[in-house]
Amino acid sequence: MSEEIWDGVIDLNLKSAFLCCRAVIPHMKARRYGRIVNVSSGIARGTGRVAGTAGAVLPYASAKAGVLGLTFTLAKMVARSGITVNAVVPGFVLTEPGARVRDWFEGLPAEGKEALLARTSMGRAGEPAEIASAIVFLASEEASFVSGAAIDVTGAA
């Protein structure tokens, strides 16, 4: 793998989260209130499945694990400023038709689809709305004492 590919994946999946946090935290501190919800991946915990070769998955898994480290550390740093920082950790989610993951899944033979879904404890893929619901909860007042947490939305993968 080239360093360019590594850097591109890290920038897209980890540096972007850092830059977003860095941009909003001063405003949240001024208001003494804020909610940050980062998105990691089950692959960061070794539970996710990503299409491609193991080598191609390495920078993605590393970046998404880094998102968890960013989340846990940042939560401690800004806790007294009224800001919560959490992460959602999606498992295998079937995105909308036409999206890369959906197209890849739809291109599998029936036995490949069944084998992939059988790896999840619930025997099915997640839905985008299920991920969104976890994010909405973490952004809500009901989660005001939840910070430094990573909620797995993996179907018990």
Mean pLDDT to the nearest integer, 11-39: 98
Residues marked as catalytic: 60
The predicted-structure confidence for 38-52, as pLDDT tens digits, reads as follows 999 999 988 765 555
**pTM for this predicted structure:** 0.92
CATH number at residue 63: 3.40.50.720
pLDDT, one tens digit per residue, over 100-129 is 889 999 999 999 999 989 988 999 999 999
Q: Tell me the DSSP string of 125-153.
A: -B-HHHHHHHHHHHHSGGGTT--S-EEEE
| Domain encompassing residue 49 | 3-153
Q: In the chain, how many domains are there?
A: 1
Distance of CA 47 to the CA centre of its chain: 12
Residue 134 has what pLDDT? 98
